[in-house]
């Protein structure tokens, strides 16, 4: 079943799973852009195994409400989380200027501090 994102001013406002007659009726519309929930980071994944397969990815990432649709890149991606982060052109995922700490665990999480442009360990107070 196909998924289509309704895009207004470059932002996804809703994702639909329509019937084929609806899809056919929208053929000339530029408001609806097909998306695939099997595409993440510019790669396609088998829906049964979750493993990367050889099928072509569709628009870098699955479209979610609030996501950006960049018609030049022909890609969906999340809004920029922080001004210091840059968009990876291959995956269309945002990357911090500093790698996430290697010692992070569910018991030792980190959060981004834009003022210091660094990861800060989350502590209970």
Note if the pTM is more than 0.75. yes
Ranges assigned E (strand) in the chain: 3-8, 11-16, 32-35, 39-40, 43-44, 68-70, 75-77, 86-87, 94-95, 110-113, 118-121
Which residues, at least 6 apart from 41, have a Cβ–Cβ distance to it below 8 Å?
60, 61, 90, 91, 92, 93
What is the pLDDT, as a whole number, of residue 29? Answer: 66
- Angstrom distance (rounded) from CA 52 to CA 30: 30
Q: For the segment 25-59, what is each residue's pLDDT rounded down to a tens digit?
A: 766 667 889 999 999 999 999 999 999 999 999 99
Q: For the segment 54-96, what is each residue's pLDDT rounded down to a tens digit?
A: 999 999 999 999 999 999 999 999 999 999 999 999 999 999 9
């Amino acid at each position: 079943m196909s998924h289509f994102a309704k895009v207004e001013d470059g932002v996804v406002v809703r994702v639909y799973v329509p019937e084929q007659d609806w899809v056919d009726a929208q053929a000339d519309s530029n408001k609806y852009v097909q998306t695939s929930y099997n595409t993440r980071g510019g790669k396609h994944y088998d829906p049964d195994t979750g493993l990367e397969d050889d099928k072509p990815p569709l628009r870098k990432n699955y479209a979610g409400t609030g996501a950006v649709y960049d018609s030049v890149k022909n890609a969906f991606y999340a809004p920029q989380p922080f001004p210091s982060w840059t968009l990876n052109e291959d995956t269309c995922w945002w990357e911090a200027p500093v790698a996430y700490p290697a010692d992070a665990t569910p018991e030792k999480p980190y959060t981004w501090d834009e003022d210091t442009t660094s990861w800060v360990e989350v502590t209970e107070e």
